[in-house]
A = this chain, B = another copy of it.
């Protein structure tokens, strides 16, 4: 019942200086009249991240729409971060639902082409953007609900587990998990921490070592997702769930969320540069580049 953190979390939770500090709140928000359901914004043809903000409910639906599989490229990560930052600064927005516009896929995770045959500088920039997205999502003061309407491996799983609640389509063909080792690469410590915080140490150890992708029913069983519903009801259920979360006094909920997540976030904040250096050193190794090449060639063949 004590106030562990008195400050508003809006400004401090995602920590450090903003990547996008020139944005101002009012300049970026197209207000809708209360009672009118939803108004699109940022819905330009080139946009990979669509944001629909409903001022009457305070809920924004953030939809990934980057065919074919919502890979998290540097462009997507940057647009994603900017969108989240805008919403975070928007006092009218209290909750974010994260979903996908593509059939069968929530997000395939990090874009391998950003790590293959690229300069160390590019890899560093890319990894910094991955960190930034996680910091913004895991540390968001808003309520975040993942409407997982398709498969969600690796970075896709990270995004889902960074939300406050996960609703997944009840389809055993959809998989979710941190399957990095299957590709010969390694999830970093903050992926691990997010996983441990969600499913506990033992399940995290098993699934990280084996690179397990859980089917939707198995994901529910181990606690990787919170709820399964028929595919066409995922988004509606996310909105219903969000309404319950928004009924909680916001300030108390924000402080509580920060109390739960701050230690995990602080760990990355205080090791951010070392984590980037580690990633670059690992990913630029010949043996790892060879693994990525084989993986990408395998993907191409499957397409043809």
Contact = CB atoms under 8 A, between A and B. Distances in A.
Given A186-B252, A252-B186, A291-B249, A2 B209 contact: no
Given A201-B197, A209-B256, A282 B187 contact: no
A223 B205 CA distance: 13
Interface string A185-205: 111110110001111111011
Contacts of A209: 164, 245, 248, 253, 256-257, 260
A299 interface: no
Interface centre among A2, A181, A211 (most CB of B within 10 A): A2
Given A6-B278, A6-B282, A154 B186 contact: no
Contacts of A198: 201-202
Nearest to A208: B256
Interface string A40-76: 0000000000000000000000000000000000000
B252 A3 contact: no
Interface in A222-242: 223, 226
Protomer copies: 3
A234 to B, nearest CB: 19
A278 B2 contact: yes
> For A182, A252, A253, A278, which residue has the most chain B Cβ atoms within 10 angstroms?
A252
A182 to B, nearest CB: 7
A150 B97 CA distance: 37
A279 interface: yes
A4 interface: yes
Given A110-B1, A202-B197, A181 B252 contact: yes
Interface in A138-196: 154-155, 164-165, 180-189, 191-192, 196
Closest 4 interchain pairs by CB? A3-B282, A2-B279, A2-B188, A184-B249
16 contacts: A1-B115, A1-B154, A1-B155, A1-B180, A2-B275, A3-B283, A3-B288, A4-B186, A164-B205, A181-B253, A184-B252, A196-B201, A205-B257, A206-B226, A210-B244, A210-B253
